[in-house]
Structure 1
Amino acid sequence: MRAGKLDRRVTLERATVIGKDEFGADLLRWDPVATVWAQARPNRGAERFTAAEVNGSAVMSFQIRYRPDVTVKDRLIYEGRVWNIVDVREIGRRVVTEIDATARAE
């Protein structure tokens, strides 16, 4: 991967369980793991009609230098927006980690 293509900053975050709520569900705190340089590429958007309102989502692919610790349980912050990771792939032999992520459209 050429360093010149890594022109965006993204923050990887990981959830930590800090307790339970009154219904027994986990209470999560999102802690930053790393802030890294990335290449951001828009994929496609989706829009669907649900419960009498239109819901949209944005889909992006992010390429970062290889990190073996990124999983779909993590999320990332890009341009002040929260992106949920839906797929993580290794490209090459430990050269690039490609992350597919979705965010709800504003």
Structure 2
Amino acid sequence: MRAGKMDRRVTLLKWQETGRDAMNTPIEGWAAVATVWAQQRPERGGERFTAAQIAGARVMTFHIRYRTDIGVKDRLSYEGQIFEISDVRELGRRVVSEIDCVAVQE
């Protein structure tokens, strides 16, 4: 992977304890783990017919330097949009992690 192609910044998010309240109960939420350089792959759009409505999905693929600490339970933030990670694959011999993700509709 050539570093020149990695021209986007993405933030990797994990669900974890972010603090404690007055009763010492854990407060959980999405916390930033790392901000890394990434290459955005061409977008694929998707539409599906559900409950008599058409629902669209924004699907993105990113390539980042190989990491072992991300998975499908995590999220990714890119340009102010939150994406749920749907798949993480290793490309090459631990050179690149390819991340497929879908935009979260809130």
| TM bucket, shorter chain | 0.7 to 0.9
Count of matched residue pairs: 98
TM-score by length of 2: 0.82
RMSD: 2.0
Matched residue, 1:49: 49
Q: Contact 1:55–1:105 (CA<8 Å) still a contact in 2?
A: no
Q: 1:19-63 CA deviation, whole Å, 9 max, x = no partner?
A: xxxxxxxx8400000000000113421112323432110111100
Q: Secondary structure at the match of 1:4?
A: helix
Q: Contact 1:12–1:32 (CA<8 Å) still a contact in 2?
A: yes
Asked whether 1:76 is paired with 2:76, we answer yes
Amino acid at match of 1:37: W
* Cα offset, 1:95, TM superposition: 0.7
- Where structure 2 has 5 or more consecutive residues not aligned to the other structure, the ranges are 19-26
- Once residues 98 and 28 of structure 2 are traced to their aligned partners in structure 1, the CA distance between those partners, rounded to angstroms, is 25
Amino acid at match of 1:3: A
Matched residue, 2:22: none
* Cα offset, 1:79, TM superposition: 0.9
Q: Secondary structure at the match of 1:47?
A: strand
TM-score by length of 1: 0.82
Q: Secondary structure at the match of 1:68?
A: coil
- Where structure 1 has 5 or more consecutive residues not aligned to the other structure, the ranges are 19-26
Amino acid at match of 2:8: R
Q: Contact 2:72–2:86 (CA<8 Å) still a contact in 1?
A: yes
Q: Secondary structure at the match of 2:47?
A: strand
- Identical columns (%): 62
